[in-house]
Structure 1
Amino acid sequence: MTQRTVAVLAGGLSHEREVSLRSGRRLAASLRKTGLSVVEWDADASLLGRIRSERPDAVAIALHGGEGENGSVQAVLDLLGVPFVGTPAAACRRAWDKPTAKAELQRAGLTTPDWVALPHSTFREFGAQAVLGAMVERLGLPLMVKPDQGGSALGAQVVRDEADLPAAMVSCLAYADTVLAERFVVGTEVAVAVVHDGAEPRALPPVEVDAAGGVYDYTARYTPGATTFHCPARLDPATVDALQDAALAAHGLLGLRDVSRLDAVVDEEGRVQILEVNVSPGLTDTSLLPTAAAADGIELGDLYAALVERAVERGH
């Protein structure tokens, strides 16, 4: 049997470039252990030429943010007819836009914290102070303020005092033109990965996130020791089932494929509150998908090798 060649795409030009490079290195090393031939490529201006001249059997996307998650790279790979692991371009766009994804999930009966999404122009046209006051009146405090697009909690912060809200908005708008403000939910933060490495998609064991500072921000995500992970999560079986059902439902409703990760909070009443869905989960040493895979008894390389095979078989 001819050895398959897989191109791992990592890097790119988003704010999450360094995290993506770490994910890419780990994924490439894991895939090599399975016997696959692996090349590591940056997502830059040379990419299309490389694909045309070296044409891998499949592409594994380890890009975070920007073109790697908003459907751009996926659309280019489709244009070139190259099989890839991950969600199709149109569904990537739905998941990438957090307010759109939240609205779709809410219409389907899933629970997500109450929110409002406002572009930068709204604050200029109607007066920042008045808009922020209305936001607090409607949603209350504390608030989670974050960009409407992007990942790794960049630009995201909890606002507990109304006086801190303007500065939080300015910080958030450095990463996107639209702010998503949602009611901050007190509870147990959990991530649930969905993988389609067999006949049907399945949810891996939930990972409970216990950040030392109480908020799972960028520092807590990528600083070794800053966060304690419990997998399986320290939750009762019924809640675990509810989390996994929610992850599978979101994966299907949004049209996701191969692999995704649901971020949620189990609130004080035991309800699953969906925060967002990620189409390109992190694969670094402190990321949640590898932790869940290990708890499930599967090596990261074996998991992705199975996903690569699925991509090759479907041909796109």
Structure 2
Amino acid sequence: MNSPEKITIPVGLCYNLKSGHHNGDDDEEYDTIETIDFLDEQLSSFGLTVYRMEQDNTLFHNLLEKKPAFVFNIAEGRGKTRSRESQVPCLLDWLSIPHYGSDGIALGITLDKLLTNTMLAHNGIPVPKMYMADDMKACDALASHFDGRPFIVKPRWEGSSKGIFNDSVVDSFADCKDRARRILSSYHQPALIEEFITGDEVTVAVKGNEELSVIGMMRISEKSPSDRFVYSLENKREWQTNILYQRASDSIPPAVCSAMRDNAFAAFRCLDLHDVARIDFRIDSKGVPRIIDINPLPGLSPEYSDIMLISKLHDRDFTEVVREIIAISLRRNKIVV
């Protein structure tokens, strides 16, 4: 008598693929085929049947045809709107398909840096002061804030440091206007003028749901130290040449590391995030870590992602870290493997 054939659970792997040719920074957040291959392998290690589903015009049809029980979604979304990261999660929610990561509301809020800053501040979580200019007239109204303090000028809803360059930190209002004009004309969205915190930059990777834990904390600095260092688009593209990555605990006091952990957990819960997120801090002159950005859809590239670097610095096998994240999401969605 033949043994019954093992039934495996069908899952989707949804993503946006880099174009393979220079596209400005339009597909900066998209993934390489090597990352997709890696994630396919990790999902398959759970005994799942993986269907690759690029977020293109065939996605809806593929979801209906393959009927996945779960989707591991890393798609950043199409277009330039602040709702783009919410596109796939909202589609999956509409089709009642459980998925990895935070829902469309959380992704929409966190992509909008002004909304995120406002929500965190309202909940008592330290953030820098922030002002918005949706046109040059609004920018002119901010002149009185320039009293010798530095500011950083950046787009309201971008990721992967898009729109943040080495010259985005400004001391004068004239320079602020120039950078704001660049954002308004090139990115077609409001410019944010944010208090620039000159202290250490640290990114904290958090995983979990009801119970949260820290994967690791990584200090990010320039190999040629500068009090105007920013983790800019140029620096991210040339990270192997320009950037020094260190365990935060090697140089940052334990009390500050504890505060970052507590604030990262508080932000994760305040925004109702799921499974994993990366929370970025700058530490001010009083030793207070202030949240400058939150990424609930962090890159998982085995070649260049921050979570890969964090894992390496903390002597963790990145493959095992990714499998832990997958398992966390499967448990939350009650997918039994």
**What TM-score range do you get, normalising by the shorter chain?**
0.7 to 0.9
Paired letter, 1:241? S
CA contact (8 A) 1:66 1:150 kept: no
Residue 115 in structure 1 maps to residue 130 in structure 2: yes
1:203 to 193, 214, 221: 214
The 2-side partners of 1:72 and 1:80 are apart by 13
2:309 to 270, 285, 291: 291
Give, in angstroms, the shift of residue 134 of structure 1. Answer: 3.6
Instruction: Give 1 or 2: higher helix fraction.
Output: 1
- Is the partner of 1:192 in helix, strand or coil? strand
Partner of residue 74, structure 2: 62
Larger radius of gyration: 2
Paired letter, 1:155? G
Percent sequence identity is 25
The alignment of Structure 1 onto Structure 2 pairs a total of residues equal to: 307
Partner of residue 171, structure 1: 182
Residue 75 in structure 1 maps to residue 90 in structure 2: yes
Partner of residue 297, structure 2: 280
Deviations 1:66-118 (A, max 9, x none): 67864222111000111111111222222222111111111111111111022
CA contact (8 A) 1:159 1:165 kept: yes
Partner of residue 192, structure 1: 204
Give, in angstroms, the shift of residue 233 of structure 1. Answer: 4.1
**Cα RMSD for the two superposed structures:** 2.8
Q: Which runs of 5+ in 2 are unaligned?
A: 1-5
- Is the partner of 1:86 in helix, strand or coil? coil
The 2-side partners of 1:212 and 1:51 are apart by 46
Give, in angstroms, the shift of residue 149 of structure 1. Answer: 0.7
2:255 to 235, 238, 247: 238
Give, in angstroms, the shift of residue 290 of structure 1. Answer: 2.4
- Is the partner of 2:141 in helix, strand or coil? helix
Partner of residue 142, structure 1: 150
Residue 102 in structure 1 maps to residue 117 in structure 2: yes
CA 1:4–1:207 in structure 2 vs 1: closer, same or farther (change >3 Å)?
farther
CA 1:258–1:66 in structure 2 vs 1: closer, same or farther (change >3 Å)?
farther
TM-score between both structures, scaled by the size of structure 2: 0.81
TM-score between both structures, scaled by the size of structure 1: 0.86
The 1-side partners of 2:315 and 2:94 are apart by 35
2:55 to 43, 46, 58: 43
Task: Report which stretch shifted further, 2-11 or 306-315.
Answer: 306-315
Partner of residue 228, structure 1: 244
- Is the partner of 1:146 in helix, strand or coil? strand
Give, in angstroms, the shift of residue 19 of structure 1. Answer: 3.7
CA 1:127–1:257 in structure 2 vs 1: closer, same or farther (change >3 Å)?
closer
CA 1:242–1:212 in structure 2 vs 1: closer, same or farther (change >3 Å)?
same
Task: Report which stretch shifted further, 7-16 or 73-82.
Answer: 7-16
Partner of residue 269, structure 2: 252
- Is the partner of 1:85 in helix, strand or coil? coil
Give, in angstroms, the shift of residue 167 of structure 1. Answer: 2.7
Residue 11 in structure 1 maps to residue 16 in structure 2: yes
The 2-side partners of 1:287 and 1:184 are apart by 25
Paired letter, 1:158? V
Paired letter, 1:7? G
The 2-side partners of 1:36 and 1:147 are apart by 39
The 1-side partners of 2:27 and 2:14 are apart by 11
Give, in angstroms, the shift of residue 161 of structure 1. Answer: 3.8
The 2-side partners of 1:246 and 1:127 are apart by 32
The 2-side partners of 1:74 and 1:94 are apart by 13
The 2-side partners of 1:218 and 1:25 are apart by 25
